[in-house]
C-alpha cells in the first residue's frame, strides 16, 4: 500500500487536482484522498492543504515530495533489477529531448529496445529548462540536450555527437551560390528560427552576435517541422543542425527541397561546428545518420 500512496502523492503534485490525479492512477477520488490521509497519519505531518478543492502542499509537504520522487524512482529500479534477474527487463524508459535532437533519438533507442524488448520508450520534446527540471524531479530517466548548459552541473553527462549547422533553403538567391557563407550573409535573409527559449536558438543568436550582425527574423516557432514548412512553402530560410537533415528529404517538381551551404566566419567553421553537404544532395541527411550510427 505504501508505494501506491507515494504514487498517488506524486500524481497529485503533477495534476494539482484530486479528480485528475485519481484518474491518472486509475482509482476513485475518495480512495486516493483517503490513501494520502493515511500517509499523513503514518508520518505524523500534514502534507496537503485542503479546502473544497486542492489548495497546494504545506511547507512540510513540499519537502516530503522530493523524498517521494526518490522513493518512486528507487522502487522502479528495484522492479527492473528483479526483472533482469529473470532476464525479462520491463518498464518504461522516460527520455526528454530538445527538439533538435529528436531526429537522432531512434539511433539510440532502437539498439536498446532490440536488447530489451520488454521495455517501452516514452519520448517527450521539451525545451532545455523544462528537461533539466524534470530530470531534477526524477520525472525523466535520460535527457538529450546540449552539454554546455550550466544547468547540467551535477548530472552525469555523456557526449554523443558534435553538432554542426547548415543553412536550409528551397529556392536560394543566386548570390548565395558560392563556396561558403558568413553569418553576415545569412543575417540579411528572411529567416525562420526556433523560439528564444530554445537552447539551439541561443547558440545561433550567439553566433550572430559574435559576427556583429543582427538577423532578419521573420518567424519564430518551437517546432522544427514548422521551420521546414516555412522554408518549403513560404520562401524563408532557416539555420538548422545537421542532425535534422534526415527529416528533410522531400522533393518538389523533381527538385530537392533543401540546399545546404557551408557557414564560415573569419576563415573558420562558424557557430557550433558548422558544416555543409553537397548542394541539392537529398540523401545527405540519411548518409550522415548512417555514419552516426556506425560511429
Phi, psi of 250 (to 5 degrees): -80, 160
Q: Give the chain's mean pLDDT.
A: 78
| Three-point CA angle 116, 144, 25, nearest 5° | 65
Q: Could you tell me the pLDDT band of residue 42, with boundaries at 50, 70 and 90?
A: confident
Give kind and range of the element (H or E) at residue 192.
strand 191-194
Phi-psi region of 200 (alpha: psi -120 to 50; beta: other; left: phi over 0): alpha
48-65 burial by CB neighbour count: b if 16+ within 10 A, else e? beeeeebeebeeebeebb
What is the pLDDT at residue 86? 63
Q: Which three cell numbers stand for residue 268?
A: 573558420
Q: Which three cell numbers stand for residue 135?
A: 530530470
Q: Could you tell me the pLDDT band of residue 87, with boundaries at 50, 70 and 90?
A: low
Cell 538548422 sits on residue: 240
Give kind and range of the element (H or E) at residue 207.
helix 199-211
166 close to 240: Cβ distance less than 8 angstroms: yes
Give kind and range of the element (H or E) at residue 219.
strand 217-221
**Percentage of the chain lying above the pLDDT 70 cut:** 79
Give the residue among 280, 272, 278, 263 at the shortest CA–CA distance from 167: 263
User: In this predicted model, which residue has the larger pLDDT, 81 or 109?
Assistant: 109
Q: What is the pTM of this model?
A: 0.56
What is the pLDDT at residue 216? 95
139 close to 122: Cβ distance less than 8 angstroms: no
Q: Kindly state the greatest CA–CA separation across the chain.
A: 74
C-alpha torsion sign, points 200, 134, 74, 91: negative
Q: How far apart are CA 205 and CA 182, in angstroms?
A: 14
What is the pLDDT at residue 220? 96
Residue 274 reports pLDDT greater than 70 = no
Q: Which residues contact 208 (CB under 8 A, 6 or more apart)?
A: 183, 187, 214, 215
Highest mean pLDDT among 212-226, 243-257, 273-287: 212-226
Q: Which three cell numbers stand for residue 181?
A: 557563407
Stretch among 140-144, 233-237, 249-253 having the lowest mean pLDDT: 249-253
User: In this predicted model, which residue has the larger pLDDT, 281 or 159?
Assistant: 159
Highest mean pLDDT among 166-175, 222-231, 261-270: 222-231
Q: How far apart are CA 271 and CA 265, in angstroms?
A: 8
Q: Give mean pLDDT, residues 256-284.
A: 36
What is the pLDDT at residue 108? 87
User: In this predicted model, which residue has the larger pLDDT, 138 or 257?
Assistant: 138
Q: Which residues contact 177 (CB under 8 A, 6 or more apart)?
A: 279
Q: Which three cell numbers stand for residue 182?
A: 558568413
What is the pLDDT at residue 219? 96
What is the pLDDT at residue 131? 92
DSSP secondary structure, 103-139, as one string:
TTHHHHHHHHHHH-TTEEEEEEE--HHHHHHHHHTTS
Stretch among 89-103, 167-181, 225-239 having the lowest mean pLDDT: 167-181
Question: pLDDT tens across 122-138, in order?
Answer: 999 998 889 999 998 88
Amino acid at each position: 500500500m505504501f508505494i501506491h500512496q507515494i504514487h498517488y502523492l506524486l500524481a497529485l503534485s503533477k495534476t494539482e487536482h484530486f479528480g485528475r490525479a485519481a484518474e491518472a492512477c486509475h482509482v476513485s477520488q475518495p480512495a486516493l484522498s483517503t490513501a494520502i490521509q493515511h500517509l499523513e497519519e503514518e508520518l505524523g505531518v500534514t502534507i496537503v492543504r485542503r479546502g473544497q478543492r486542492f489548495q497546494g502542499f504545506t511547507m512540510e509537504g513540499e519537502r516530503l515530495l522530493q523524498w517521494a520522487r526518490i522513493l518512486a524512482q528507487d522502487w522502479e529500479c528495484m522492479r527492473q533489477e528483479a526483472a533482469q534477474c529473470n532476464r525479462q527487463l520491463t518498464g518504461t524508459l522516460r527520455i526528454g529531448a530538445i527538439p533538435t535532437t529528436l531526429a537522432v533519438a531512434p539511433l539510440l533507442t532502437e539498439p536498446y529496445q532490440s536488447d530489451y524488448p520488454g521495455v517501452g520508450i516514452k519520448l517527450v520534446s521539451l525545451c532545455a529548462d523544462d528537461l533539466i527540471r524534470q530530470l531534477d524531479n526524477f520525472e525523466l530517466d535520460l535527457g538529450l540536450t546540449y552539454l554546455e548548459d550550466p544547468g547540467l552541473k551535477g548530472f552525469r553527462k555523456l557526449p554523443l555527437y558534435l553538432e554542426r549547422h547548415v543553412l536550409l533553403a528551397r529556392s536560394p538567391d543566386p548570390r548565395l551560390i558560392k563556396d561558403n557563407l558568413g553569418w553576415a550573409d545569412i543575417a540579411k535573409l528572411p529567416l525562420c528560427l526556433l523560439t528564444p527559449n530554445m537552447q539551439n536558438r541561443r547558440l545561433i543568436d550567439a553566433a550572430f552576435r559574435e559576427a556583429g550582425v543582427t538577423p532578419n527574423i521573420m518567424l519564430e516557432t518551437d517546432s522544427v517541422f514548422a521551420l521546414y514548412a516555412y522554408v518549403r512553402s513560404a520562401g524563408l530560410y532557416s539555420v538548422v543542425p545537421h542532425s535534422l537533415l534526415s527529416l528533410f528529404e522531400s522533393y518538389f517538381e523533381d527538385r530537392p527541397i533543401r540546399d545546404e551551404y557551408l557557414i564560415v566566419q573569419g576563415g573558420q567553421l562558424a557557430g557550433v561546428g558548422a558544416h555543409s553537404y553537397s548542394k541539392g544532395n537529398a540523401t545527405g541527411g540519411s548518409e550522415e545518420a548512417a555514419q552516426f550510427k556506425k560511429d
